[in-house]
């Protein structure tokens, strides 16, 4: 497994749990040492225990020696990053091609070179050409095996997948891939074998479609706010239709993460290169950016248009719960906008603090939601961590200078907020609650300021 990022590490660990001998390769010696010491560089529930189990069983090892790992391997997975390329929005294949060339020079016998990274249509054929040029004597096949892992639920997704997609060019490669996934085949999980191009396209089409569902319900949410409809009820009514389904129909501050932003941009670019603009996908990208800006406006309106000098506590900064991933998180748009308008921002996140601290300068970090809310003018729920789903709203409101709650994940209701003593409540796609009150009418019993030092 070449690459020990999110996809590579989760895949390598899970393959070893199938009973395969897996060597995970990374160029960063420090990262390799961390992994050898049992330290997991990413947060993914259950991954540390599963990794330790298979290391102890002798099926899983880590190295920075790619040539040694490739020698004698039946399959070599490329699981390196394909970030958005600056300037044109296309997927940057630099790391994929570099890995392919290095693998080619290390090949000693037949192997299937499998691209696990998300790559544009036609990439696997390019990988084949790179390997053939670098080592004309190499005996190999290429395969496309896109991942469909949700951060926070990746192990379950790998072990109980909706489907496994494998793109190959011949039976020999198909047999190797079937052997690798045999434990799932025996449990009747569907394996779809396709050509290379179809496998590559499936990944982009699936992610673009899910991003479209999220963006669609966010646009409907904006219309609900204007018309008096409740987006939660609208979503439920839509989701009960079996043709639509209820997943990815939760209104909020827009999609983020390592996949949807990058893959929608790449698909749009692929369409442009082939003279067929992906108009729906391009609109999704545009509307998602507008949704984030609308969240800033919502917070500003809740505070009567004045952010300067206000203290705002933000609960959750990662792009979703159960991960430490900050890539394209809505917080990276919302928080800088608040600070730029003169607000003082405090933040709480169960796992995102370490990475977010570098990305969000000027934020004051807390490990407790109630401490962050002490003497604050507003609380903003930006990521729906379980820790924020059962807050004592009365306790929180009493601590605040002016009790205002922007619930951007629709966890609570205007009724909840009103009963707890909040004077202002804003959500997404539902009626807001605004009391005819100002800061002088804050609930009695405000606690003494905490010692933030």
Residue 235 sits in a domain of what CATH number? 1.10.1040.10
Q: Which of 194, 215, 239 is the last residue of a domain?
A: 194
Consult the annotation and say whether 376 binds a ligand.
Answer: no
Question: Nearest to residue 331, comparing CAs of 344, 320, 322, 342?
Answer: 320
Q: What total number of domains does the chain contain?
A: 3
Strand partners, 2: 25, 78
Q: How far apart are the first and last CA of the chain?
A: 45
Least confidently predicted of 21-35, 141-155, 175-189, 437-451: 437-451
Q: What is the pLDDT of residue 91?
A: 86
Consult the annotation and say whether 329 binds a ligand.
Answer: no
Contact 405, 381 (CB under 8 A): yes
Consult the annotation and say whether 252 binds a ligand.
Answer: yes
Q: Can you tell me the distance from the alpha carbon of 318 to that of 327, in angstroms, rounded to the nearest whole number? A: 8
Q: Which of 194, 227, 260 is the last residue of a domain?
A: 194
Catalytic pick from 14, 24, 224, 259? 259
pLDDT of 32 over the 50 cut: yes
pTM of the model: 0.90
Can you give the residue range of the structural domain that contains 235?
204-289
Q: How many helices (H) and strands (E) does the chain have?
A: 18, 14
Q: Does 224 participate in catalysis according to the annotation?
A: no
Consult the annotation and say whether 366 binds a ligand.
Answer: no
């209104």: which residue's tokens?
Answer: 251
* Mean pLDDT, residues 179-193 taken together: 95
């319900």: which residue's tokens?
Answer: 217
Q: What share of the chain is helix, strand, coil (3-state, %, to 5)?
A: 45, 15, 45
* Mean pLDDT, residues 429-439 taken together: 72
Q: Can you tell me the distance from the alpha carbon of 389 to that of 370, in angstroms, rounded to the nearest whole number? A: 14
Q: What is the mean pLDDT of the chain?
A: 93
pLDDT of 87 over the 90 cut: no
Q: Which of 289, 311, 330 is the last residue of a domain?
A: 289
Consult the annotation and say whether 31 binds a ligand.
Answer: yes
pLDDT of 392 over the 70 cut: yes
Provide the sign of the torsion angle of the four alpha carbons 70, 146, 162, 351, taken in this order. positive
Contact 287, 443 (CB under 8 A): no
pLDDT of 449 over the 50 cut: no
Q: What is the pLDDT of residue 262?
A: 93
Consult the annotation and say whether 344 binds a ligand.
Answer: no
> 154 lies in a domain?
yes
Residue 316 sits in a domain of what CATH number? 3.40.50.720
Strand partners, 380: 314, 406
Contact 233, 410 (CB under 8 A): no
Q: What is the pLDDT of residue 263?
A: 95
Question: Nearest to residue 249, comparing CAs of 225, 224, 280, 217?
Answer: 217
Question: Nearest to residue 151, comparing CAs of 62, 256, 284?
Answer: 256
Contact 91, 200 (CB under 8 A): no
């Amino acid at each position: 497994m070449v690459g020990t990022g999110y996809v590579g590490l989760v895949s390598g660990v899970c393959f070893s749990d199938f009973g395969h001998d897996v060597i995970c390769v990374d160029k960063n010696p420090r990262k390799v040492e961390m992994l050898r010491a049992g330290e997991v560089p990413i947060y993914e529930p259950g991954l540390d225990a599963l990794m330790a189990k298979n290391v102890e069983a002798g099926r899983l090892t880590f190295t920075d020696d790619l040539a040694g790992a490739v020698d004698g391997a039946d399959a070599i997975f490329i699981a390196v990053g394909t970030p958005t390329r600056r300037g044109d929005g296309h997927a940057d294949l630099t790391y994929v091609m570099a890995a392919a060339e290095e693998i080619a020079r290390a090949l000693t016998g037949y192997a299937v070179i499998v691209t696990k990274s998300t790559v544009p249509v036609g990439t696997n054929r390019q990988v084949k050409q790179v390997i053939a040029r670098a080592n004309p004597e190499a005996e190999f096949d290429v395969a496309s095996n896109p991942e469909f892992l949700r951060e926070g639920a990746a192990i379950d997704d790998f072990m109980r997948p909706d489907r496994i997609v494998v793109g190959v060019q011949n039976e020999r490669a198909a047999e190797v891939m079937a052997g690798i996934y045999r434990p799932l085949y025996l449990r009747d999980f569907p394996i779809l074998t396709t050509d290379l191009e179809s496998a590559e396209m499936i990944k982009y089409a699936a992610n673009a479609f899910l991003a479209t569902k999220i963006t669609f319900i966010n646009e409907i949410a904006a219309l609900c706010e204007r018309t008096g409809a409740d987006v939660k009820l609208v979503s439920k009514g839509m989701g009960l239709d079996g043709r639509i389904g209820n997943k990815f129909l939760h209104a909020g501050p827009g999609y983020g993460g390592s996949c949807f932003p990058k893959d929608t941009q790449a698909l749009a670019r692929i369409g442009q290169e082939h003279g067929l603009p992906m108009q729906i996908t391009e609109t999704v990208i545009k509307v998602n950016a507008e949704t984030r800006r609308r969240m800033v406006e919502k917070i500003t309106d809740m505070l009567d248009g004045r952010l300067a000098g206000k203290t705002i506590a933000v609960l959750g900064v990662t792009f979703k719960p159960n991960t430490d991933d900050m890539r394209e998180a809505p917080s990276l748009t919302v928080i800088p906008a608040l600070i730029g308008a003169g607000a003082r921002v405090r933040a709480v996140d169960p796992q995102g603090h370490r990475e977010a601290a570098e990305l969000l300068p000027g934020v004051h970090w807390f490990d407790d939601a109630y401490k962050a809310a002490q003497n604050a003018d507003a609380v903003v729920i930006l990521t729906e961590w379980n820790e924020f789903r059962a807050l004592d709203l009365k306790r929180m409101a009493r601590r605040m200078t002016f009790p205002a709650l922007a619930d951007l994940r629709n966890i609570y209701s205007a009724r909840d907020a009103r009963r707890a003593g909040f004077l202002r409540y804003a959500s997404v796609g539902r009626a807001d609650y605004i009391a005819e009150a100002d800061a002088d009418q804050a609930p009695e019993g405000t606690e003494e300021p905490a010692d933030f030092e």
